[in-house]
């Protein structure tokens, strides 16, 4: 049976700081540049979630996009929106909140909740219009 991919884009705004606590300010600034700002900095993130599966003959859907939006909001966006990713999000505790680390953690939050026979195909996190990370699972 053919598999079709569908994607839902969501949005959230959050602050973070990239810095290793065991490094001094000079080394953090050298490695992470402006992202090591002691007073944090923020982004307006865009999150693309792609699900794949067969098209249901009754609905014409792989998965209802409203259900996908609600699922991602409940398990990801509601926790991240208008938060400090370093301080406010329990499932990011101890994680350096780079785009690469975030996209993997977001996958982990979403993947168990995708209803079969659909599967999570990819997650793309846009930190800026020119910088993003994509994850397709292990």
Give the active site residue among 16, 35, 43, 121: 35
User: Are the C-beta atoms of 135 and 101 separated by less than 8 Å?
Assistant: no
User: Are the C-beta atoms of 114 and 74 separated by less than 8 Å?
Assistant: no
11 catalytic? Reply is: no
Edge to edge, the sheet with strand 4-16 lists 83-84, 4-16, 41-53, 119-128, 131-135
Round to whole Å and give the CA distance between 76 and 110. 8
35 catalytic? Reply is: yes
Give the active site residue among 82, 100, 113, 131: 82
Give the active site residue among 16, 43, 121, 127: 127
Catalytic residue numbers?
35, 82, 127
């Amino acid at each position: 049976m053919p598999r079709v991919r569908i994607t839902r884009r969501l949005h959230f705004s959050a602050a973070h700081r990239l810095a290793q606590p065991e490094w001094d300010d000079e080394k953090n600034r050298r490695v992470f540049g402006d992202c090591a700002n002691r007073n944090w900095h923020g982004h307006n993130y865009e999150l693309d979630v792609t699900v794949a599966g067969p098209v249901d003959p009754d609905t014409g859907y792989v998965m209802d996009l409203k259900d996908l939006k609600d699922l991602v909001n409940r398990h990801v966006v509601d926790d991240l929106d208008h938060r400090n990713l370093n301080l406010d999000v329990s499932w990011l505790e101890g994680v350096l909140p780079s785009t690469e680390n975030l996209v993997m953690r977001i996958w982990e939050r979403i993947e168990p909740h995708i209803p079969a026979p659909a599967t999570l195909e990819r997650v793309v996190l846009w930190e800026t219009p020119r910088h993003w990370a994509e994850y397709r699972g292990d």
